[in-house]
Structures are given as structure tokens and as C-alpha cells.
Structure 1
């Protein structure tokens, strides 16, 4: 691949049409960590764009991708259209903000109406959000002792240090998320019915990775080197392609692109936190936050209060 710059990129992703390679950080700029490269694989042309990290995941409906802009205090889940010509990512103003950093790339459900996120740098968290609303449906810590049904199912006998970060997958049914445990059990989480069903299928070998096949069945990898195909009950589920496209259209129509000519990305974003949205005026005016609030909100409130007090 002689068109790709000779540079130690940290993260790479192909554009959905295969014509471009997105790469971060940028290879030829003084603020490399704040920019990214888009490499045209036909011509070798390299164009500069906004920073992203971890991975770029296409929505099942096409025309939209999700990625991160991570910082120790907070991670932005950013969305960009891809139904235009391949080029640098052009982020949309609607975004999701999640606490701290160190997350794995989002995993979309088969119908694109939900996505799950595993993280973070400090805890083994699992979050599920609705799309396009960005409403938080589920938040739990794997291995936690909280007395809810999912935490009980994930916590019993599981060492937090043993959890894989690649242990979740939606099957072909849009509302069913599977979680691989360190003891070889697969948990079937039905988000609509709010039920958790354990399946001790892998003979006690820790699950190291879990994925969905195009058939809707699962493929699991274990710490003993096995790769196991898991048939999912219910038969094949044929997704409604037009409905998935409409989900993307609804999201895109509800927002607009961040201007290219302003390097201050966050100033233009409307940030959802799973419960409410924050525009820049909201963030500039908040002065109260409790210890139960996310770190980023506590920091923002403290900074604003200091400014208001003239310190």
C-alpha cells in the first residue's frame, strides 16, 4: 500500500465504500493528536480532518457512522454522515457524552435502534442506548453486587479482572443482547422483556470474544483457544431495510453538520447524556453537581462556580 503515509497511526478504519482509509492521529501537522488523516486509496491524496479514536462503526441502515473523541474526563460519541463522497469525517452536532474514557467501539443492534458500549478505563461497565433518541436504557457494572437481575447474573463468581472487553453481541432479534462471562456462561439479555437467561454453553472456559454472524447466530472465542458457533433460538430474523434507513434519516434530519471552519468542535455540539441534552449555554451556566453526577459534569460545575465567584 504505497499510497499510505509511512507513519505510526494508532487507529485505522476503512470508509464504508472502501475508497478511503481514515487514520488517527494526523501524520503531518504540529497538532497531530487533534487532527486525523483521510487517505484516498485510489489517488493517494491525504486530507486532514477532525480527530477521532478507538474505531468507526457503520449504522446497519447505512449512511452514518459512530466514533469517539476520548478524553480522560469524558468521551464524546460522535456521528458523521457517509452517504456523501468519501472524505474527512464531517461530524453532526448531536452527540452523546459518557463519563471518563477507555471504551470499546459501539455495537449496534440488528435493526439499528439500539447500541451497546463496553468500558471503561476504570470499571467493567455496560451501557445500552436507544437510537436515534440517545436515551439511556441500561447501565450496569459487570461483576457488581447490586441487587438487580442483570448485576446478579453477571456478578456471581466472576472476577472483574477476567472480563473481556469484546464480550457483547446483539443477535438477529433487535432487542436481545448477549454477554459472555468469565466462567463460560452466555447471558441472554432481552431488553424489551427485561429478562436475563444464563446459558452455560462453553464448559467453564472464559469468553474472550463474542460476535454475530449474518445468519443471526453467534460465534464465541474462549481463553482455551476454541471458536464455538452458537445457534440462537427463534430462527432467522430478516431486518426491515427501509425502517433502518428511516432511523438514520430521522437522526440526520434532527441535527446539522458542525462547521468545518471552526476548530472548536465542542462549542457546536448538543450533548445528550442519556437523560437530557446540553448545549453550550447549558454547560456554561451549570454550577451545581453532586457526587452521583458524572465526572465531566462535576468538573464543569466547579469551573463555572469558580468563574462566577471571580476566582
Structure 2
């Protein structure tokens, strides 16, 4: 696509590109889950966000290896990079916001579990209040998520990177950036679907077979998209296994809390349900903490890369301005 037939790269450039694409293919193969049931869970999402951090770090290493200083970057490359980085930062902020919302819901579960320590009618009234609070909180929508899909659509529209004519280093850089963007769109699409409970905006991104990571990407995309599309949105608040487990426990506890406990058998059943719910709530809270850490790490990777580019651009501009000043100080040439 960006390296059409007939184009040639030096052995060094060819090796750099191959190494980058082979590493990305290996990373993609590692996060392909063994079973479809392992996709929509916080453990997989943590691994997927780790992948994004790694490949965005890889692109930084590639830029250094290319020995392509910012002063040699074309304006259109810089514009693409800066525009994309802003969109990725917006996506990270939205994901962090949704994770925080889910963690706030966990507060209702803590209150509920505390109230269930006693079978007194007063505590059951408080438990019902916590249950209602959980249900209402989880049914609410996060407005930040609404903007994610439009941001991702705009990112997808920039997949056709600028044509590079006379720079082999530029061709390698643009092709590597294309790969990073495609993988980023896939992972962010899964996150957006999992958090929003909607598969309507999932993307099926075709990639050229000439990319060494094409097969690994296609396998992963088919796996995750088919699982999400086969999930019934009417049966889940969000497409997350941990949230579904907690919600299932809440629905089982609710009728007992509402009707009260009248005999030892019902008391034993309640304690078993409470234990199961406590375990599910703990797994949800721990999973959210780990994913939140990775999302924050991805934000930092994107932000530091953008900041470094802007700093280099300012440095180049200052050097250029100083050069012009020194020429002016010398005055007109002697004739």
C-alpha cells in the first residue's frame, strides 16, 4: 500500500521495518484468547491495553532507529501525528471516566455486603436501598462514552496516510504508524463496546496482506468482533464478565432481602449468596484497578510522545530563528 511494487528500501530500512512488523505480529498473537469466553473480561482488557502501550513504545524506538530528525519530517506527517494523538488522549480520558463510574458503583456493593452481616429488618431496609442504588447507578449512562465512536470514526478516516515520494525513511515511518493506528482502533473499539454495551459501531478493518502482522490482526479481529456481536445486549448492563457476575448476584439477593429471612434455611442461602457476591465484587474491583492502571499508562505513552515532538519542533524553530538573527547582525555584505 505504502510500499508499492517496484519501490526499494536499503537493507537497513528493510530490516527495521520487518523487525517492527514481526514484533507487532507476535504481540497480537499473544493476546488472542484461547476461547471466546475470555475476551470480554477485565483480564483480557488489561492485556490488550498493555499491547497498545508496547506498540506505541515500539514506534518511538523505530523513529530513533530511523535517525529521522524532526526537522526532516514533512508538515503533513506532523499534522497526522498530532491530530491522532489528541484523539487518543480523548479516548483515554473517556475510558478512565467509565472505569471511575464503575468503581463508584462498587461503593453500593460494599454498603450492601456490610448490611447483610445482620439479618435484622432495619439492616434489610438499608440493604434494599443499596441494591436500588446499584441498579440505578449501573443503568445510568456516561456521556463521555457517546463521543468515543465519533472520535474513532474520524481516526479511521485518516488510515490512508500521505503518499511518500522521495524518502525511504518516511515510507517506513508511515507504514509503521499505519499498523499502530489499525491495532489501536481495534482495541479501543473493543473497550468502547464493552463499556457501552453496544456492538453497533464495531469496525471490521481490512489490512493489506503485505503487512507481516496482517494475518495475526485478522485472526484477532474476527475472534473479538464475533464474540461481541453474539452477546445479547438485553441481558447485560455492559459487555463485561465481571459486571455480569456481580449483577447476577445482585438479582439473586434482591428477593430475599425484599421478603426477609424467616427460617435458618433461608439464612444459610442468604449467606451463600452473600459470599458469592462478595467474591464477584472483589474480582470486579481488582480488575478495574488493573485496567485503570494500564489506561493511565497508555495515556502517558501518548502524551509524552506528543510532548517530545512539540518540544523538538520548538527547538528547531528556535534554532532557525537564531540563525536568521545572526545573519541580520552581520549586516549587508561588503561590496
Please say which structure displays the higher CA radius of gyration.
2
Higher strand share: 1
Higher relative contact order (CA 8 A, sep 6+): 2
Per the normalisation by structure 1, the TM-score is 0.22
Return the structure number with greater helix share.
Answer: 2
